[in-house]
């Protein structure tokens, strides 16, 4: 078993090594990679800040990205072997219908065709830069990752744990709201405010056996009607200075359970609220730091199982260092990046009623990455991560090592 594990790990890495270490003279003439935008943008702009192609006089611009990777993980000496994963194929379409009226949609095929989701399909009416009305399927502006999740932008195959299990990225829902921005010198300030459909009671009644906000995404009718007729409110504000960086604060909250059926009260109203702080900063175009931290508060009935936590927290920080930027393999301004991600999630911050001791159910992780970017739109990356997962009771953690190799690119 050990020999097999070593061979498999070596094969994956060897494949990555060949690609990453070959730096021969130019093989092809390519156009200069797009320059970084001079306009100050916020995370909330990510949905439009993507490469689109427009053909002739067609009003439609299209784009998309693809993510594919290989995965080899070992948990306490046990592995399921090497597998390949068609993680995502995402298509964007946008159109400026008339001056200050825009439409954009993002359709995602996840895990082949296992999940097909409309992640964004909204119309923007700009009355003023500070007052844009948005309606449709909206990517909820909670934290930064949810809106800025495109694979090619990240040095890691795996999305941050807190962004996918505490915040259920990619988290979209249907509704209406407002957003806007204001520029002042090197500063930009933005806000978003929406009313949308919200969560359902699967967040505390699911096969994961823990409070699990992503469970609500399996509800196929969430784009059709609210689970309980109570709209979810989301507020986000963010401020950025060209040199200092960006910080954002966001909140979403809603009653998540069905408290009324056929006009008859069948349960108490119970809320879920999520607060997130996000931040990012670029230093001399060489060092990029980004991260977010989330806190979740869920009203779980006292008489239900304590394994469903009333409070959760989690976050991550990515540090990306560009240690080589030059013409490589014929690509101008190609980059080699070394990155590290530290992350933590605590799915249950409560204490046992019976003993008063802490409920654990937490994961620590550290992930490293070596990535090659022929352009800003494409990344070839190899990741190695190590995770410690502690169960509810706080027994010795299970340990998982994972190596992943993958491509992701806008097209």
**Interaction site with other proteins (CB under 8 A):** 2, 5-6, 9-10, 12-14, 17, 20-21, 23, 74-79, 201-202, 204-209, 257, 266-267, 270, 301, 303-307, 323-324, 326, 336, 338, 352, 354-355, 357, 360, 368, 370, 382, 384, 386, 391-396, 399-401, 403
For residue 116, what are its two tokens?
Answer: 């097909």
Q: Are 273 and 286 in contact (CB under 8 A)?
A: no
Verify cis geometry, omega within 30 degrees of 0, for the bond prior to 109: no
Q: Which is nearer to other proteins, 207 or 262 (CB)?
A: 207
CB of 158 to other proteins, least distance (A): 17
Label residues 140-164 b or e (16+ Cβ within 10 Å = b): bbbbbbbbbbbbbbbbbbbbbbbbb
We find the least distance from the C-beta atom of residue 407 to other proteins, in angstroms, to be: 18
Q: In the complex with other proteins, which residue's Cβ is closer, 147 or 312?
A: 312
Single out the residue of 374, 8, 316 nearest to residue 158, CA to CA: 316
Smallest distance from other proteins to CB 159, Å: 22
> What's the distance, CA 336 to chain centroid?
23
Give min distance, CB of 362 to other proteins, in A.
13
CB of 335 to other proteins, least distance (A): 12
* Complex with other proteins: residue 48 or 304, whichever CB lies closer: 304
User: Judged by CB, which is closer to other proteins: 56, or 77?
Assistant: 77
Taking Cα atoms as reference points, which of 253, 260, 288 lies closest to residue 274?
253
Cα 227 to Cα 220: distance, rounded to the nearest angstrom: 11
From the CB of 347, what's the least distance to other proteins, in Å?
A: 13
CB of 349 to other proteins, least distance (A): 16
Q: CB count, 10 Å around CB of 361?
A: 23
Smallest distance, other proteins to C-beta of residue 204, A: 7
Q: Which is nearer to other proteins, 116 or 324 (CB)?
A: 324
Q: Token match 């995402």: residue?
A: 90
Please state, in angstroms and rounded to a whole number, the distance separating the CA atoms of residues 130 and 247: 19
Looking at the Cβ atoms of 3 and 184, the one nearer to other proteins is 3
Contacts of 262 (CB under 8 A, 6+ apart): none
Residues in contact with 314: Cβ distance below 8 Å, sequence separation at least 6, in sequence order: 161, 162, 165, 166, 293, 294, 343, 344, 345, 346
Q: What are phi and psi of 74, to 5 degrees?
A: -130, 125
Maximum pairwise Cα distance, the chain: 74
- Considering beta carbons, is residue 39 or 265 the nearer one to other proteins? 265
Residue placing its CB nearer to other proteins in the complex, 74 or 167? 74
Identity of the residue, 226 or 383, whose beta carbon is nearer to other proteins in the bound complex: 383
Least Å distance between CB 214 and other proteins? 15
Task: Tell me how far, at minimum, the Cβ of 130 lies from other proteins, in Å.
Answer: 42
The torsion of the CA quartet 69, 72, 73, 74, rounded to 10 degrees, works out to 180
Q: How far is the CB of 308 from other proteins (least distance, A)?
A: 9
Alpha-carbon span 256 to 112, nearest angstrom: 31
Q: Closer CB to other proteins, residue 27 or residue 78?
A: 78
CA 160, distance to chain mean position in Å, is: 7
CA gap 389, 314 in Å, rounded = 13
The whole-angstrom separation of Cα 381 and Cα 325 is: 16
Q: CB nearer to other proteins: give 316 or 405.
A: 405
């Amino acid at each position: 078993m050990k020999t097999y594990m070593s061979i498999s790990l070596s094969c994956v890495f060897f494949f990555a090594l060949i690609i990453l270490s070959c730096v021969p003279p130019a093989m092809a003439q390519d156009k200069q990679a797009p320059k970084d935008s001079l306009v100050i943008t916020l995370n909330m702009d990510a949905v439009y800040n993507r490469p689109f192609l427009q053909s002739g006089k067609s009003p439609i611009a299209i784009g998309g990205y693809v993510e594919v990777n290989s995965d080899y993980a070992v948990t306490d000496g046990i592995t399921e072997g090497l597998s390949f994963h068609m993680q995502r194929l995402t298509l964007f379409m946008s159109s400026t219908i008339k001056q200050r009226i825009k439409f954009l949609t993002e359709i995602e095929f996840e895990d082949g065709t296992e999940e097909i989701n409309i992640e964004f399909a909204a119309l923007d009416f700009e009355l003023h830069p500070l007052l844009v009305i948005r309606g449709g399927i909206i990517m909820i502006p909670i934290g930064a990752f949810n809106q800025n999740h495109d694979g090619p932008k990240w040095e890691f195959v795996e999305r941050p744990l807190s962004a996918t299990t505490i915040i259920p990225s990619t988290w979209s829902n249907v509704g209406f709201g407002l957003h806007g921005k204001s520029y002042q010198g090197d500063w930009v300030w933005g806000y978003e405010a929406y009313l949308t459909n919200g969560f359902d009671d699967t967040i505390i009644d699911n096969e994961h056996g823990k409070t699990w906000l992503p469970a609500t995404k399996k509800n196929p009718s969430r784009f059709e009607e609210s689970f309980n007729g109570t709209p979810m409110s989301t507020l986000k504000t963010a401020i950025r200075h060209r040199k200092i960086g960006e910080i954002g604060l966001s909140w979403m909250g809603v009653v998540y359970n069905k408290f009324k059926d056929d006009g008859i009260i069948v349960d108490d109203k119970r809320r879920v609220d999520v607060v997130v702080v996000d931040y990012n900063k670029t230093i001399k175009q060489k060092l990029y730091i980004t991260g977010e931290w989330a806190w979740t508060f869920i009203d779980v009935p006292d008489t239900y199982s304590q394994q469903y936590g009333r409070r959760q927290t989690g976050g991550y920080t990515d540090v990306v260092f560009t240690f080589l930027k030059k013409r490589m393999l014929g690509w101008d301004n190609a980059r080699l990046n070394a990155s590290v991600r530290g992350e933590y999630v605590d799915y249950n911050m409560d204490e046992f009623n019976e003993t008063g001791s802490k409920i654990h159910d937490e994961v620590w992780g550290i992930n490293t990455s070596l990535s090659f970017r022929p352009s800003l739109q494409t990344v070839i990356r190899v990741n190695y991560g190590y995770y410690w997962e502690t169960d509810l009771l706080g027994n010795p953690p299970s340990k998982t090592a994972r190596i992943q190799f993958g491509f992701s690119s806008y097209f």
